[in-house]
Amino acid sequence: MTWLHFLSVSITVWLTLLFVFTIVPAVLGVSIGIRRLYLTTLLKIFEVKRYKIKVLCIHAPEFEMADIFYFCRRGVESIVDDEVTKRFSAQELETWNLLTRSHYNFRHISLRLTVLWGLGVLIRYGILLPLRVTLAATGISLILVLTTLVGFLPSRELRFFLTEKVHVMCYRICVRSLTAMITYHNRENKPKNGGICVANHTTPIDVIILANDGCYSLIGQAHRGLLGMVQRAMVKSSPHIWFDRSEVKDRHLVAKRLSDHVADKTKQPILIFPEGTCINNTSVMMFKKGSFEIGCTVYPVAIKYDPLFGDAFWNSSKFGMVNYLLRMMSSWAIVCSVWYLPPMNREEGEDAVQFANRVKAAIAAQGGLVDLIWDGGLKRAKVKDAFKEEQQKLYSKVLVGEQEQGDNKSSEENPEEDKSYHGSANGQ
């Protein structure tokens, strides 16, 4: 009975602290500074640790044959590297962040670093992970319950008003389940009703990052299971757009649903990620033109993550959703910056592809990302024949151009031979 009493008291204290210091500030939209203090402490630890690693590496006198494999690997990577495939793997860090998710085993350099890394494991998995799982479960449960209840309200205006409050509150709780520190810039450019918000795509939590600062209508494929339950609950109170698997490839149906949504100025802006896949936050790849054919105002948003505290990139070909979320919740934190860019409209004489490229270039420039023309679908599929044919045509033009230049050059160098040839031809 003593152990049961102790367990019940512990759970009560845990939930009380969670409610007072996390859920209540999330509901009120305020921060009491715990996350900022936590990140400041982590930065100081990383700075001290980076200095120790440098000193230990400088004074390490022993050499092992295995050391050369690192340089061999880097050399081979430099040979086969290209600007596309490296966007589908996690970016390398300049300094170790006490996570064993890089190619470097710095935790074996010294006993002090090993102890520090072990202490970090205990904190992340023993304290932070249970806290974050509890917060995530709370946020998802509130979304399911509150959106369902709001959906029964007869008044459309009241339903939309409460839906925005409920969604923002629940997303704030979910953001705290990741210990996310988000900095929003240029909030005067936030997306407005009747428009489309487009952003670069790094992770599924991009939705939570943006919805933490405003309410959006989401578009996507209808799912089953827990995600399907959340989708069905959300659509009862808010005009989200979910497609069946058979409808996703119907471009005309998708365009019509989007046009009907943006035509109603009382509906929230639609949030779309035109890349269609997750990129590792070092570049922006080709935007699909579908969302730029609607003819409405587009609100570009640039999202840039700091991988020092935890890499937010979702490599879907390597990790499943559950494994990925576990990695996120066991990281130190998620730190990112969000820039709201001025609204953009399609110019006269500009087609959808040109408009998409102009928006993509603006997002890349603001986020400090590389602007690439390649399709993000190359992560899972081979290069399309159309791309191959285009490159073959360009190469053939180069060859033909070089040949013509060579012929012109030879004729300029031997004008007398040309004259004699033409003269003999005329004589004949």
Q: Hey, what are 257's tokens?
A: 């649903």
Query: Among candidates 220, 240, 226, which has minimal Cα distance to 139?
Result: 226
| 253 confidence band (pLDDT: 50, 70, 90) | confident
Separation CA 416–CA 330 (nearest Å)? 80
Separation CA 15–CA 131 (nearest Å)? 10
Helix (H) or strand (E) holding 298: strand 298-306
pTM of the model: 0.75
pLDDT of residue 58: 43
Three-state SS annotation for 276-288? CCCCCCCEECCCC
Residues 6+ apart with CB under 8 A from 276: 201, 288, 376, 377
113 or 49, which is more confident? 113
CA distances from 18 to 25, 132, 172, 173 (A): 10, 10, 14, 11
Choose the most confident range, by mean pLDDT, from 47-61, 66-80, 176-190, 394-408: 176-190
The C-alpha torsion from 40 through 43 and 48 to 52, rounded to 10°, is 160
pLDDT of residue 336: 92
Tens digit of each residue's pLDDT (9 = 90 or more) over 321-376? 888 888 888 888 899 999 999 999 988 888 889 999 999 999 999 999 888 887 76
Q: Hey, what are 76's tokens?
A: 């081979």
Tens digit of each residue's pLDDT (9 = 90 or more) over 75-97? 665 555 555 565 666 666 656 66
Mean pLDDT of 227-238: 77
142 or 22, which is more confident? 142
pLDDT of residue 184: 94
DSSP character string of 6-30: HHHHHHHHHHHHHIIIIIHHHHHT-
Choose the most confident range, by mean pLDDT, from 49-58, 161-170, 297-306: 297-306
65 or 428, which is more confident? 65
Mean pLDDT of 218-231: 76
DSSP state of 188: G
Identify the three-state secondary structure at position 218: strand
